[in-house]
Amino acid sequence: MTIHPTILSVPAPEGLQPRCAEARTRVVSNTPVNGEYHLLTLDAPAEVLACQPGQFFQLLCPEPEGEHPYLRRPMSIYGYDAEAGQLQFLYKVTGAGTRGLATLKSGDGLNVLGPLGQGFTMPAERKNLLLLARGVGLATLAPLARMAQQQGRRLTAICSARRPELAMSVDLFLSYGAEVIVVHDGDGSATPEALRSVIEAQIAQGRVDAFYTCGSARLLRLLQELGAKHNIPGEVAMEQQMACGLGMCQACVRSFREGDQVVHRRVCREGPVFPISEAIA
């Protein structure tokens, strides 16, 4: 199957990547991971595989029976492999768009637009990374873990879930050489208070010089407090409802701290990744 991408030039602030691609991809597989999540693997052209961890795509979801999703569905990248020509998304069926995604079968086509937004950074001085997220937020951090392994960084991944069997990407993080800590609601280990003790212990052992997280407001607040206390920087991938995903509609504007001022930025264009210290949970 020949995939013909369309290159789009999108206005962007100085220094930001202005180009993305629209392409029709082909479904390789679309399988349940556990009781809540599905893994979608696509054959995709090189033009949409020049990705960074933390970026996202806008997916033109098929229409499930009796429903008509109006907008594309923003979806963070779970995996990308330019050599294999594949792109992956991990999703939970929650609305019309993801119900449409769940109907896709091997061989079906799917229109995607991306990669979009600004991804995670990994400055050379960050040698010991701590990743903390809950549920599908861990999907956003999976490409970052792969990059950490490729660059020889030490990695600790704390995977939070309602139940242990719902903790996402544990085996994937282990395959990247991470120390994996699973916490869940059932035994109280996923509370901010319990997590504070776990992370403080990691810091005391010299195992953390950068934080990375996604999604959860309470986890963001916890890392902001610990970062300020121990002078540890970090980044957060923000979640926000979007319409165009290109920065034109202004639907995803959020407030951020910049020094002693509050400024407004588009999550889809200036983000979705921002410094933890600047985010307002």
Reduce the DSSP state of residue 149 to 3 states and report it.
helix
- The reply, when asked if residue 162 is annotated as ligand binding, is no
Calpha distance 170→58 (Å, rounded): 26
- The reply, when asked if residue 268 is annotated as ligand binding, is yes
Query: What count of other Cβ atoms lies within 10 Å of the Cβ of residue 70?
Result: 7
- The reply, when asked if residue 159 is annotated as ligand binding, is no
- How many residues can be counted in the chain? 281
Q: Give the orientation angle of helix 217-230 with respect to helix 192-204, to 10 degrees.
A: 30
Exposed / middle / buried, residue 94 (Cβ in 10 Å: 0-12, 13-18, 19+) = exposed
Calpha distance 20→42 (Å, rounded): 17
- The reply, when asked if residue 73 is annotated as ligand binding, is yes
- Residue whose C-alpha is closest to residue 50's, from 171, 143, 169, 164: 143
- The reply, when asked if residue 76 is annotated as ligand binding, is yes
Calpha distance 223→218 (Å, rounded): 9
- The reply, when asked if residue 249 is annotated as ligand binding, is yes
The angle subtended at Cα 222 by Cα 238 and Cα 136, nearest 5°, is 45
Per the CB < 8 A criterion, the answer to whether 87 and 45 are in contact is no
- The reply, when asked if residue 13 is annotated as ligand binding, is no
The beta-strand segments (E) located in 33-172 are: 37-43, 56-60, 73-76, 79-81, 86-92, 109-116, 128-134, 154-161
Which DSSP symbol is given to 256? E
- The reply, when asked if residue 254 is annotated as ligand binding, is no
- The reply, when asked if residue 207 is annotated as ligand binding, is no
- The reply, when asked if residue 238 is annotated as ligand binding, is no
Binding residues for [2Fe-2S] cluster: 244, 249, 252, 268
Binding site for FAD: what residues are annotated?
Answer: 73-76, 97-98
> Which residues are part of a known binding site?
73-76, 97-98, 244, 249, 252, 268
